[in-house]
Amino acid sequence: AQKITQTQPGMFVQEKEAVTLDCTYDTSDPSYGLFWYKQPSSGEMIFLIYQGSYDQQNATEGRYSLNFQKARKSANLVISASQLGDSAMYFCAMGSSGGSYIPTFGRGTSLIVHP
Amino acid sequence: DAGVTQSPTHLIKTRGQQVTLRCSPKSGHDTVSWYQQALGQGPQFIFQYYEEEERQRGNFPDRFSGHQFPNYSSELNVNALLLGDSALYLCASSSRGLNEQFFGPGTRLTVL
């Protein structure tokens, strides 16, 4: 079984500052992938970034980077230079080889960016 | 290039009724997955279709069924609706063998 835990129900950040959203996971599969999605109030899930369990380097996509610490089973999302449009729900998800890579989602973190 | 589309955007039904939701995948994608997202929760996997067959299924009762058509579009059917079925239903498409899924805007179902 796989499990994703997001312990921060809500986060606040000042515009242009960096913010870290926490995510821990649990799986017994050696091969897995970690995803982060953004969900604005419109409802659509927007893919942000992906990290494979065998990737040696942390994934980066523009202002998004994934701080992957395999031994700690954590996959935190770092958003640099926050923008007002970053205000949304953020979901961490994991898919593993044992589950045919069907993602299991966490409960999400609400991020509010203040001007 | 059109992304994933879903219809309708909103739907109101009463208990006991049946509902059909529709999804068209992103161009070039052959796999469709359906998720249920209750208020304040993350999406929960319902099932996945590939080559017109259900390939994976989450922990949902048989009242939830689906179909995939030769053009890869898909339907989600829910019978004997319960109040607890009220949720945002998300469709996601992907290419077989690739992990990244693209989501549609969802259908918000309200059961009264």
Per-residue pLDDT of chain B (112 residues; tens, 9 = 90+): 679 999 999 999 999 999 999 999 999 999 999 999 999 999 999 999 999 999 999 999 999 999 999 999 999 999 999 999 999 999 999 887 666 789 999 999 999 9
How far is the C-alpha of B106 from the C-alpha of A46, rounded, in Å? 12
Closest CA to B104 of B11, B26, B30, B48: B26
A-to-B residue pairs, Cβ atoms closer than 8 angstroms: 52
Task: Determine, for residues B99 and A91 on separate chains, whether the beta-carbon distance falls below 8 Å.
Answer: no
Which residue stretches of chain A have pLDDT < 50?
A: none
Closest CA to A92 of A45, A37, A40: A37
Residues 6+ apart with CB under 8 A from B102: A47, B3, B4, B26, B29, B92, B93, B94
Task: Determine, for residues B101 and A47 on separate chains, whether the beta-carbon distance falls below 8 Å.
Answer: yes
Chain A interface includes B92 (CB < 8 A): yes
